[in-house]
Structure formats: C-alpha cells, structure tokens
Chain A
Amino acid sequence: EAGVTQFPSHSVIEKGQTVTLRCDPISGHDNLYWYRRVMGKEIKFLLHFVKESKQDESGMPNNRFLAERTGGTYSTLKVQPAELEDSGVYFCASSNRGVYNEQFFGPGTRLTVL
C-alpha cells in the first residue's frame, strides 16, 4: 500500500511568488493534516481536514495560506504571496477515523523562499 506522498519534494521561490504544495493521503483515510517545521524548530500543526471539510485551522499562520481538499482526496496548500519566514519543511499526514489512530506522515516538501 502506498504511503502519504507529497509534491514537490523541494521548492525554491522568490519572496512575493506563489507556491502550491500537494499531498496525497493514504487511500481511504478521512483525516488529513498539514504541519510544518521552520528553521529546525519543533513541528507545528497547521490544519486538519475530515474528508473535504476543514475541522481545525487554528494553526494557519495568516491569510496568505490557503488549504483545500476538494472531493476529500488529495489536498493542496497554497502560499500567496510567499515571505521569507515561510521557509521550512511542510509535512502532510493522514489517518483513519478515530482520535487515537496513527498519523502517517509524508516525506515533506522543503520550501525555500529567497
């Protein structure tokens, strides 16, 4: 069974540009999460989808970040316009229904904003 996949693996953009990250969760997982790790610090929660609905977006930094999960399958995270402080590694995770089900992480997208 394929794990969580993310695209691209790396992205280098200039400040002010737009970038869209994609996450394909494990097939059948209703829960999808975005996290990010900035500058070697701890991994922080961004938001949580249950199917196509945003369950919790309390971790989204500001309105330059927009996440979607149309159809309840893959998800995209768009940053527009990107700022220097957005650089980091963006992880996606998915899990089955239920609170304590293991979250499986993708390999991450390393975003560098110059």
Chain B
Amino acid sequence: GESVGLHLPTLSVQEGDNSIINCAYSNSASDYFIWYKQESGKGPQFIIDIRSNMDKRQGQRVTVLLNKTVKHLSLQIAATQPGDSAVYFCAEIPSNDYKLSFGAGTTVTVRA
C-alpha cells in the first residue's frame, strides 16, 4: 500500500541537499492547500499552493504533492540553501470557507 510520510517537528538538512517536509491534513472536504514559510520575527509567508483537483504543482525550487487518498501533503525543496532555514506550515481551507487551518509546523535547519 501507500506509505504516508511522517510529520517531523524538526528537520536538519545539509546545504545543497533536497528537503522533504510532510503534512497530514484532517478534513476530507478541504479544497485548497498552502505551504507557508515563517522566518524568525516575521509572519508566515506564502510559498506555494495547490487545489484539490491537482496532484502536483511546481514552483521555483519547490514542489508540492497532494495525495487525497491518504490526506497527505508534502513540500519538496530542491538544493536547500541557508536562507531556507525557517518553520514551514501546511494549511488547508475547506470548500466555501476562508479560514486557514494550519498544521503543527516543521522547523528546518540547513547545515553549511
């Protein structure tokens, strides 16, 4: 069967390696998913989003994967850089709603 990525509260990555951050969401009615990055002293900043009718979406150095069967979302960061060190949150919005429901967050630390 499918394997579901484990959500880890912290992730240490060597500079230049790829990072994978996992998130399990709870609401099967959620229609829209977003990844946010929060750096120290700043508010959450939009990275990439995906609608429920898609499985994958790519941005600049980032890819989001959505598996609706197991309600799992992942963020892949290619060639991780020191500036990628931050807390990463996944968030979901149910259909016809506005409010974001956030996951627990993963603190990513990039090692030089």
A residues with a Cβ closer than 8 A to B are 4, 31, 33, 35, 41-45, 48, 55-56, 59, 91, 93, 95, 99-100, 102-108
Contact = CB atoms under 8 A, between A and B. Distances in A.
B80 to A, nearest CB: 23
Interface in B44-84: 44-46, 49, 51
B43 A105 contact: yes
Interface of A is mostly: strand
Nearest to B41: A107
Nearest to A99: B98
B99 A42 contact: no
A21 to B, nearest CB: 13
Contacts, number: 58
Interface in B11-34: 32, 34
A48 B32 contact: no
B93 interface: yes
A108 B43 contact: yes
Given A45-B99, A103-B100, 9 more contacts: A33-B99, A42-B103, A43-B89, A43-B100, A103-B46, A104-B46, A105-B36, A107-B42, A107-B43
